């Protein structure tokens, strides 16, 4: 079967760095997405990786290793507004998105 694994919840301190991991097993691979979702709101796009390596976008970076079926989202200089759920999703060979359950990130002052 297909599955996406990511931690349920993480806690970090304002100003610090946090890494949210995602491992996946899917039938085929056409890219991995990270989305941010604040409580009661729809997800917003953060990043898309289809090749191995690190993609940096401001305070957020996303890394992919296709051979390991592994990705992480790195958040630097954490701000209180970064408190949200972070969803990892993989596009399989049929271009269907397989969603992880999300990681709830709690930022403490």
Partner 1 sequence: GAVVSQHPSWVICKSGTSVKIECRSLDFQATTMFWYRQFPKQSLMLMATSNEGSKATYEQGVEKDKFLINHASLTLSTLTVTSAHPEDSSFYICSARYGTETGELFFGEGSRLTVL
Nearer to partner 1, 81 or 95 (CB): 95
Minimum gap (Å) between residue 24 Cβ and partner 1? 14
CB-side exposure of 91: number of CA atoms within 13 Å? 10
Q: Is 104 exposed, middle or buried (0-12, 13-18, 19+ CB in 10 A)?
A: middle
From 14, 41, 56, 77, residue interacting with partner 1 (rule: CB under 8 A):
41
> Does 91 participate in binding partner 1 (rule CB under 8 A)?
yes
Tokens standing for residue 20: 């949210």
Q: Which of 45, 80, 81, 109 binds partner 1 (CB under 8 A)?
A: 45
Question: Is residue 31 close enough to count as binding partner 1 by CB under 8 A?
Answer: yes
Residue keyed to tokens 């796009």: 45
> What single string gives the DSSP state of each residue in 55-97?
EEETTEEEEEETTTTEEEEEE-S--GGG-EEEEEEEE-TTSPE
Pull the structure tokens for residue 42.
């729809």
Stretch of 56-64, 65-73, 74-82, 94-102 lying at the interface with partner 1 (CB under 8 A): 94-102
- Please say whether the beta carbons of 69 and 25 come within 8 A: yes
Q: How many residues bind partner 1 (CB under 8 A)?
A: 21
74 binds partner 1 (CB under 8 A): no
Q: Which residues bind partner 1 (CB under 8 A)?
A: 30-31, 33, 40-45, 48, 50, 87, 91, 95-97, 99-102, 104
């Amino acid at each position: 079967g297909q599955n996406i694994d990511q931690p349920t919840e993480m806690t970090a301190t304002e100003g610090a760095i946090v890494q949210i991991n995602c491992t996946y097993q899917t039938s085929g691979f056409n890219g991995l997405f990270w989305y941010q979702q604040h409580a009661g709101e729809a997800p917003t796009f953060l990043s898309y990786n289809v090749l191995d390596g690190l993609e940096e976008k401001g305070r957020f970076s996303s890394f992919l290793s296709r051979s390991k079926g592994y990705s992480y989202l790195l958040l630097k200089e954490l701000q209180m507004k970064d408190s949200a759920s972070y969803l990892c999703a993989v596009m399989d060979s049929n271009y269907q998105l397989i969603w992880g359950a999300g990681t709830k990130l709690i930022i403490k002052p």
